[in-house]
């Protein structure tokens, strides 16, 4: 009897689990996503073309891959163009590495924000501080044309694209400095979670606080406080900016302790990339305190350093294909 009951319970459990799986929308979504490999089929086909057929079946698959790639390249399929450019940029699957070809194909995939970003990043990294105005303009236009820097652009690619556009527009490399548009792009970058973009957004916001009417200033300060508290632990630049806010009394700091605390934290964190001569800037702000306060400061900084995170906020490619 017990054995029979055990079997019945087991059967009921199997049926109930089966029913749950059949009706579980999340399980269904996962199942569909694992079956849909269309996003990566371009990479699969490109790799298959380079394989040496070991059988008639492999030869047929290779022929089918060639046909698929040729057809999609003819109609400028964005995913295929992006995949082929990835392969050329990195020299994948035995294809020759060709930076010029990669850039050309990325720019051709003008319906792909990811491809547009990759093209822009190739140019941005290649020219660096020696960027001619024509190249800067080309970057900005590529990001705009592909939608990467449109203000409804979201996610990692959006955060990167808005940051680079902001840098080029604020510095005026594209022609004339445009601080207003730069600010809007920095804001979009910040709200999409790119910390260097957040620093520049906060920098420009705090610089303009004195010119704002009180109602607008209060709204701006709410976001400033939120972003500073969120990002200062992984950004020495934002930590320094927090100290400036305390020193300028935008945040309460009766005896100057908070300003010195944040400046010292920024100094100890190091690794700033967004401020030239960062070490000189910070060393001019840090001063020695009276003995008792100095001891309290050292203890506070030591404790604060446990909250910091070593994060490299490098601009990265939005790759579709990899080895």
Q: Dump pLDDT digits (tens) for 123-154.
A: 999 999 899 999 999 999 999 999 999 998 88
Identify whether 71 is part of a domain: yes
Count of the separate structural domains present in the chain: 1
pLDDT at 112: 94
What's the whole-number mean pLDDT along residues 316-323? 92
On the question of pLDDT at 56 being above 80, the answer is yes
- Residue 264's Cβ-count burial label (10 Å; 0-12, 13-18, 19+) is buried
Q: Which of 47-61, 72-86, 294-308 has the lowest mean pLDDT?
A: 47-61
Position 299 in a domain: no
Identify the CA nearest to 287 among candidates 268, 308, 306, 259. 259
Per-residue buried b or exposed e for 123-143, using 16+ beta carbons within 10 Å of the residue's own CB:
bbeeeeeebeeebbebbbebb
Long-range contacts of 217-224 (CB under 8 A, 24+ apart): 221/250, 224/250
∠ at Cα 163 (162, 164), nearest 5°?
A: 95
Please check whether residue 109 is in contact with residue 78, taking contact to mean a CB–CB distance below 8 angstroms: yes
Which range of residues forms the domain containing residue 63?
40-108
Tell me the average pLDDT across 190-211: 96
pLDDT in tens, 66-115: 999 999 999 999 999 999 999 999 999 999 999 999 999 999 998 899 99
Q: Residue 260: inside a domain, yes or no?
A: no
Joined together, the tokens standing for residue 266 give: 């920024």
The answer to the question of residue 286 being in a domain is: no
Query: Which tokens in the block code for residue 114?
Result: 């990811």
- pLDDT class of 27 with cuts at 50, 70, 90: confident
Domain membership flag for residue 91: yes
pLDDT at 305 > cutoff 70: yes
- The answer to whether residue 48 sits within a structural domain is yes
* pLDDT recorded at residue 10: 42
Q: Which residues contact 199 (CB under 8 A, 6 or more apart)?
A: 231, 235, 237, 238, 241, 274
Mean pLDDT of the chain: 90
Q: Is residue 49 part of a domain?
A: yes
Within a domain: residue 74? Answer: yes
Per-residue pLDDT of 277-293, as tens digits, reads 999 999 999 999 999 99
């Amino acid at each position: 009897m017990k054995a029979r009951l055990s079997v019945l319970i087991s059967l009921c459990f199997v049926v109930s689990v089966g029913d749950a799986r059949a009706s579980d929308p999340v399980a269904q979504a996962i199942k569909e996503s694992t079956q849909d490999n269309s996003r990566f089929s371009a990479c699969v086909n490109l790799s298959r073309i380079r394989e040496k057929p070991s059988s008639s079946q492999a030869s047929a698959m290779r022929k089918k891959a060639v046909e698929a790639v040729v057809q999609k390249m003819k109609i400028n399929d964005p995913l295929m163009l992006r995949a082929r450019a990835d392969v050329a940029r990195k020299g994948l699957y035995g294809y020759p590495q060709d930076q010029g070809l990669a850039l050309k194909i990325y720019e051709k995939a003008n319906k792909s924000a990811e491809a547009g970003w990759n093209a822009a990043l190739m140019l941005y990294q290649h020219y660096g501080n020696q960027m001619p105005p024509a190249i800067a303009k080309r970057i900005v236009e590529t990001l705009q044309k592909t939608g990467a820097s449109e203000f409804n652009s979201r996610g990692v690619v959006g955060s990167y694209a808005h940051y680079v556009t902001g840098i080029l527009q604020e510095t005026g490399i594209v022609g004339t400095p445009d601080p207003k548009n730069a600010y809007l792009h920095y804001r979009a970058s910040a709200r999409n979670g790119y910390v260097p973009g957040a620093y520049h957004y906060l920098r420009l916001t705090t610089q303009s606080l004195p010119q704002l009417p009180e109602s607008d200033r209060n709204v701006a300060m709410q976001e400033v406080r939120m972003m500073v508290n969120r990002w200062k632990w992984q950004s020495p630049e934002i930590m320094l900016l927090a100290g400036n806010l305390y020193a300028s009394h935008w945040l309460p700091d009766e005896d100057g302790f908070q300003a010195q605390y944040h400046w010292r934290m920024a100094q100890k964190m190091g690794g700033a990339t967004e401020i030239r001569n960062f070490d000189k800037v910070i060393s001019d702000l840090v001063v020695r305190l009276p003995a008792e306060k100095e001891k309290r400061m050292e203890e506070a900084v030591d404790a604060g350093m446990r909250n910091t995170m070593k994060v490299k906020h490098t601009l990265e490619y939005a790759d579709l294909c990899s080895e």
